[in-house]
A and B are shown apart, each in its own frame.
Chain A
Amino acid sequence: MALWLTILIIVLVVLVLFVILLYNSVIRLNNQVKNSWAQIDVQLKRRADLIPNLIETVKGYVKHEKGVLTEVTKARTAFLNAKGVNAKAKASNMLSGTLKSLFAVSENYPQLKANENFMQLQEELSGTENKIAYSRQHYNDMVMEFNTKIQVFPNNMIANMLNFKSKESFEAPAADRKNVKVKFD
């Protein structure tokens, strides 16, 4: 009787310990996912902040294609007003598109291309585009780690009981990574 009780207690203690350890590591991963999501947000915001400067610089040089500039401004405003992940993603995609056409147009203006300020802004913007891509990649890595953690056996049983849900990653084809385009789903 006493032996059975001891075994029971040991099994219970091991079980409780297992649950505690699992719970803590899931929480840790969950926070990492949240943090990497915030990182994407920071980079998107940074890009939006760079645009007024860019418009200011380009305005003086571009004579015939003023429409491109208003497109960029519009897309930026739309992005800043967007609420929620999906809307933000869509708006940021639009913004990338308009920026791309702006840089395409700037190819026709050698003086603009030689402008120190413009070159700096172009470097900053392409650097930020890269960072957006990298932060999304890191987010996906974190999401994958989180999902694996709660989906493997026997973690999945406990995760179900604790109501941990799998997270969705940002799908972006690998070929898109080197382009300026940012695509969210």
Chain B
Amino acid sequence: MAKANIYDQVRNNKIKSWLLFFIFIILISALGVAFGFYLGSPIGGTIIAAMIAIIYGLIAYYSGASMILKMTGAKPVTKREFPYLYNTVEGLAIAAGIPTPQCYVIDDSALNAFATGRDPKHAAVTVTTGLLKVMNRQELEGVIAHEMSHIKNLDIRMMMLAAVMVGVVTLISDFMLRSFLWGGHGKSSNRKDSGQLGLILIVVALVLAILAPIVAQLIKLAISRKREFLADANGALLTRYPPGLASALEKIKKDPDPLVDKANKATAHLFISTPFRKTKGLMARAFSTHPDINERIRRLKGM
């Protein structure tokens, strides 16, 4: 059932990746307008910003994966060092009919894993050392199969672009907000500029006001918790053994210290389970990047 959908998923992810890219260009250009006003040439600012956005987008597409791997502190490993991990990954790559992805390991006791890359030919699977220690073969296969489905249906491209682009938009708007506050203080003595400054103030405030919810929406679009359920289902289809992943998730649920030290808001949605400390409450759940783990286990057991 899930298999019949895979071509739709792939197409869907390709379209969403483009969409993400265009929204990104528009966002950066909007920031360019604000900055252009500040410098007295809104059109110039826009053009420069759009060019930067396109160049950055290309960089993100071709080296986003290695940026993410560096950010999370993942180290590439060879088959000689981790034969168990490699054999599992190779086996599931065969089952999925994709080339064997490069394996990475994060030295962290938290139980977690993620996949990244731009397509199945340029993909990487990362697991924590804690995960390798705690899981038995069936459970590890379940986790890797989940990641393998993210790779096969191109979730990885989508999620990689989201991670890199959302990260930079947040960074820039943060930077602008700061420099605007600073600049505001510096220029307040200069009365002549105060009218123009007021205008810039409004524009920047407006842009930032528009920006925040769009960015939030973007993250949501990228993560869409349905994606995790789908990867669970497709992963179970690969191993033909849903209890493997179910019991792996059970172990992850009981993990007393789920914090992956180097994970942050930009990369959180990549992981198989949220890499932060568990939080309760409606707000936390509404903005959670991952579906309820109990619900995932329940669905796997029902397969």
Contact = CB atoms under 8 A, between A and B. Distances in A.
Please report whether the interface of chain B is mostly helix, strand, loop or mixed according to DSSP.
helix
A123 B83 contact: yes
A134 B91 contact: yes
A131 B90 contact: yes
A124 B87 contact: yes
Nearest to B96: A138
B50 interface: no
Contacts of A130: 87-88, 91
Contact of B88 (A43, A124, A127, A142): A127
A178 interface: yes
B213 interface: no
Contact of A127 (B87, B95, B241): B87
A124 B83 contact: yes
Interface string A156-185: 000000000000000000100110000000
B133 interface: no
A94 to B, nearest CB: 23
Contacts of B92: 134
Nearest to A174: B240
A82 B3 CA distance: 35
Contact of A178 (B90, B95, B138): B138
Contacts of B241: 177-178
Interface residues of B, number: 16
B87 A36 contact: no
A130 B140 CA distance: 13
Interface in B144-159: none
Contacts of A32: 97
A138 B97 contact: yes
Interface in B211-251: 240-241
B88 A137 contact: no
A138 B240 contact: no
Contact of A142 (B84, B91, B97): B97
Contact of B87 (A123, A177, A178): A123
A39 B84 contact: no
Contacts of B83: 120, 123-124, 127
Interface in A100-146: 120, 123-124, 126-128, 130-131, 133-135, 137-138, 141-142
Contacts of A126: 87
B131 to A, nearest CB: 18
B94 interface: yes
Interface residues of A, number: 22
Contact of B95 (A123, A128, A134, A174): A134
Contacts of B3: 141
Contacts of A135: 94-95
A158 B87 CA distance: 42
Contacts of B87: 123-124, 126-128, 130-131
Q: Identify the interface centre among A128, A137, A141: most chain B CB within 10 Å of its CB.
A: A137
Nearest to B92: A134
Contacts of B84: 123, 127
A170 B88 CA distance: 22
B88 A138 contact: no
A115 B90 CA distance: 25
A94 B132 CA distance: 33
A126 B84 CA distance: 10
Interface string A55-85: 0000000000000000000000000000000
A137 B95 contact: yes
Nearest to A123: B83
25 contacts: A32-B97, A36-B97, A43-B94, A123-B83, A123-B84, A123-B87, A124-B87, A126-B87, A127-B84, A127-B86, A127-B87, A130-B88, A130-B91, A131-B90, A131-B91, A131-B94, A134-B92, A134-B94, A135-B95, A137-B240, A138-B97, A141-B3, A142-B97, A177-B240, A178-B138
Interface of B: 3, 83-84, 86-88, 90-92, 94-97, 138, 240-241
Interface of A: 32, 36, 39, 43, 120, 123-124, 126-128, 130-131, 133-135, 137-138, 141-142, 174, 177-178
Shortest 10 CB-CB distances between A and B: which pairs?
A: A127-B87, A134-B95, A130-B91, A131-B91, A134-B94, A134-B91, A135-B94, A123-B83, A138-B97, A138-B95
